[in-house]
Amino acid sequence: MTNNDILRRLRYAFDLSDSQMIATFATAQVTVSRAEVSDWLKKDEDPAYQRCSDERLAAFLNGFIIQRRGKRDGDEERPAERKLSRNNVLRKLRIALDLKSEDMLEILNLAQVEISKHELSALFRKPTHKHYRECQDQFMRGFLKGLQLKHRESETENPWDSETTS
């Protein structure tokens, strides 16, 4: 699962326009053009497709956190991470949406992903912890599908259900 996939699925789940996406980046002090956003959202086969870097996705997620939760008092702007793991993406979404473990399990259940509370907590541990578990693409796909089902309940068909790319 690429950063572009994550960006596309978040845009769809939260029904974000190009302008809203640009504003989300701007909230994180990153300037992007409509053309850049459009190229990141294109399918991989499209000749105009551009890969979204870890740093750009991190900036988007940081902006998403600030838009949804507000800026922390006395907190300086942190630069976007240069390297972003799926665990970091999951953590940032958890923060942005103010999700507790039960909320995350409910979202995963909507996408028919079975996981225990202990397995979920392993995804949020430090990588050096002996019970740390790396977030796999299939799990990330399920979580994003659950977000879509929760936030766009009126939609009956997921445009990514037929995708087989990873």
For the chain, which residues make up each domain, given as ranges?
A: 3-71+84-151
pLDDT in tens, the chain (166 residues): 999 999 999 999 999 999 999 999 999 999 999 999 999 999 999 999 999 999 999 999 999 999 998 877 655 666 778 899 999 999 999 999 999 999 999 999 999 999 999 999 999 999 999 999 999 999 999 999 999 999 886 544 555 454 544 4
pLDDT of res. 105? 95
pLDDT of res. 71? 79
pLDDT of res. 153? 66
Q: Dump the DSSP string for 6-45.
A: HHHHHHHHTT--HHHHHHHHHHTT----HHHHHHHHS-TT
pLDDT of res. 70? 82
Q: What are phi and psi of 130, to 5 degrees?
A: -65, -20
